Amino acid sequence: MELIDIVWLKRDLRLQDHAPLAMACQSGRRTLVCYCFEPSLLNDPHLHSSHQRFIVESLADLSGQLKQQGLSLQVFWCDFITLLESLSENFILQNLYSHEEIGVMSTFQRDQAVARWCRTHGVHWQEIPQYAVQRGHRGRSGWRAFADQFLKQPCCQVQLKQLTTLQLQPEHRAYSLKCQQLPRLWLSRNPHYQPGGEQAAQQQLQHFIDERLEQYSFHISKPHSSRQFSSRLSAYLAYGNLSVRSVLHALKPLPASRHRRAFYSRMRWHCHFVQKFESDCRIEFEPLNPAYQRLLAEHQQQLDPVQQQEFFTAWAEGQTGLPLVDACMRALLSTGFVNFRMRAMLVSVACHHLQLDWKSVALHLAQHFLDFDPGIHYPQIQMQAGMTGFNTLRIYNPVQQSLKQDAETRFITEFVPELRDFPTALRHQPWLMTPLEAQMFAEFAEGYVKPVVDIQATGRAARERLWRWRESPAVQAAVPRLLRTQVSGFSAQQLASAQE
């Protein structure tokens, strides 16, 4: 039987700066370049049809690029181990090349099963990092130097002219596993969402550098203008249409500016947060600081479950009666995007003002963030929900955010059209309407819901509760260990101070 190699694509849907592909090009063997839609993973609660649509668009882009080189991409509808078993009936599997995936528990368990299969069957699986992340590293010692070295390395050159791809034939067992038809919802283009694909990603990056970078810092916190002036690269990074390293290299020739520095630092933060998740992946299910587990459980028992479900539904559907909160949620539901500050506000309102269970909040947002990346998502959820014991406590007031970040209410009026005919001041706080104004705008006032909570009262209660929890001995006892594993460059002096 013929010796073959496999390149397994996951969250790395690109051709450039792709080490697994580069290694396959050098092997001299025919290579199966493949992606699997795995039935065992399709029910993962983080997934949404918008994610699958983005993947399908990315695969179509990759397939088109490879065809121009006389090469092929094979897409399968089966679990990856099923594919390996079927291939092994007709071929000798020599090398399996892939990038490391820093994913949720379901993909981690899948990877563990693949590793066992490869060991049992003598297949050499080479997993290559695609982020500045140290696999299995439990502390932050040495991470900064590692990240500097990794990100400064030149982008990996993929010599596709040296690659020969394997075309399966009907007589091959694995041929029957090829994807024949995809769900219609995955195939319908939604013009309100960014399109997937490496070429779309490169166009977005170039346009950002040429046209928008020098406005970046002025707009990143504003929900309306951030849609135009932020990089809008996050989805392309989440699905590997671009590598972090290639984006940083694209910045190198540019002159120094505050905007370039701000964007560069955020790109570095990307790997910083993914490393946090890799170092403690239990935060998908548990508070980072274990002392919060009991505190949150006891607090949830004191709440009315019926009211909590009503609050969750109102928050998740953009019907809280808090204009900026509702505008952000409706924008997310219809476009898959809101900027970072508004994401933090959504979490804060949900977990602090409405006192919702953080895991339900995390899953809802994961489903609707087009750029959902577990390594970014869960560390940020933990921080914004106040479950670390050492990060700054942020209890966002959505009215203050509205007045500061959407002063002219352009964002609010776009996504909460019920308020368009109100004066600007009332679009921020419609509950402040006087009796006379209520008569003047009676026709419109009925179209928008009343606030589900008094944001001033819930803010005061949240501050008292969160600071009381944070200062508890159990929370503080866990902080020194967490600082060692979660904070890069934490000094011995800072550690001693934290232990006092």
For residue range 81-93, list pLDDT tens digits in order. 999 999 999 999 9
Question: Tens digits of per-residue pLDDT, 9-59?
Answer: 999 999 999 999 999 999 999 999 999 999 999 999 999 999 999 999 999
- The token pair at 226 is 């951030």
- The token pair at 204 is 């977005």
Mean pLDDT score, 211-228: 95
Question: Tens digits of per-residue pLDDT, 286-295?
Answer: 999 999 999 9
Residues ≥6 apart with Cβ < 8 Å to 279: 137, 138, 139, 140, 485, 486
Q: Which of 247-251, 268-272, 304-308, 364-368 is least confident?
A: 268-272
Residues ≥6 apart with Cβ < 8 Å to 323: 398, 402, 409, 412, 416, 419, 427, 428, 429, 430
List the alpha helices (DSSP H) in 122-257: 143-152, 184-187, 198-207, 216-219, 226-229, 234-238, 244-251
Q: What percent of the chain has pLDDT over 70?
A: 96
Confidence of residue 68 (pLDDT cuts 50, 70, 90): very high
231 marked as part of a ligand binding site: yes
76 marked as part of a ligand binding site: no
Nearest to 83 by CA among 184, 198, 162, 4: 4
**Greater pLDDT, 80 or 445:** 80
**With b meaning 16 or more CB within 10 Å and e meaning fewer, what string describes 27-46?**
bebbbbbbbbbbeebeebeb
pLDDT of residue 142: 86
- Provide the β-strand partners of residue 92: 3
Confidence of residue 272 (pLDDT cuts 50, 70, 90): very high
Q: CA distances (Å), 12 to each of 35, 159, 211, 398, 460, in order?
A: 10, 17, 27, 36, 45
263 marked as part of a ligand binding site: yes
Question: Tens digits of per-residue pLDDT, 410-451?
Answer: 999 999 999 998 999 999 999 998 887 777 766 656 678 999
pLDDT at 493 over 50: no
For residue 26, the tally of other CB atoms under 10 A from its CB is 10
pLDDT at 302 over 50: yes
pLDDT of residue 443: 61
Going through 333-487 in order, the beta strands assigned E by DSSP cover none
230 marked as part of a ligand binding site: yes
216 marked as part of a ligand binding site: yes
Cα separation, 246 vs 151, whole angstroms: 9
User: If you search the block for the tokens 């809280």, which residue do you land on?
Assistant: 320
Cα separation, 25 vs 27, whole angstroms: 6
pLDDT of residue 275: 93
pLDDT of residue 484: 86
The continuous run of DSSP H or E covering 4 comes out as: strand 2-8
Strand ranges across the sheet with 2-8: 74-77, 31-37, 2-8, 91-99, 124-128
User: If you search the block for the tokens 């810092």, which residue do you land on?
Assistant: 217
β-strands 124-128, 2-8: how paired? unpaired
Burial of 422 (0-12, 13-18, 19+ CB in 10 A): buried
Residues ≥6 apart with Cβ < 8 Å to 185: 49, 52, 53
372 marked as part of a ligand binding site: yes
pLDDT of residue 496: 34
Task: Enumerate domains of the chain plus CATH numbers.
Answer: 2-184 (3.40.50.620), 198-279 (1.25.40.80), 287-491 (1.10.579.10)
pLDDT of residue 490: 41
Alpha carbon of residue 350 to chain centroid: 19
233 marked as part of a ligand binding site: yes
Burial of 488 (0-12, 13-18, 19+ CB in 10 A): middle
Alpha carbon of residue 254 to chain centroid: 27
pLDDT at 191 over 80: yes
pLDDT at 77 over 70: yes
User: If you search the block for the tokens 């090398």, which residue do you land on?
Assistant: 95
Mean pLDDT score, 147-153: 93
- The token pair at 383 is 């921080």
Mean pLDDT score, 341-345: 98
Are the beta carbons of 35 and 169 closer than 8 angstroms?
A: no
Confidence of residue 140 (pLDDT cuts 50, 70, 90): confident
pLDDT of residue 499: 31
Cα separation, 46 vs 103, whole angstroms: 11
> For 188-192, which contacts have Cβ atoms below 8 Å and span 24 or more sequence positions?
188/53, 189/53, 189/57, 190/50, 190/53, 192/334, 192/335, 192/336
Average pLDDT, the chain: 94
User: If you search the block for the tokens 């004066």, which residue do you land on?
Assistant: 423
Are the beta carbons of 328 and 412 closer than 8 angstroms?
A: no
pLDDT of residue 442: 64
Confidence of residue 489 (pLDDT cuts 50, 70, 90): low
Q: How many CA atoms lie within 13 A of 110 on its CB side?
A: 22
For residue 497, the tally of other CB atoms under 10 A from its CB is 10
The continuous run of DSSP H or E covering 101 comes out as: none
Amino acid at 190: N
Question: Tens digits of per-residue pLDDT, 350-383?
Answer: 999 999 999 999 999 999 999 999 999 999 999 9
Are the beta carbons of 90 and 166 closer than 8 angstroms?
A: no
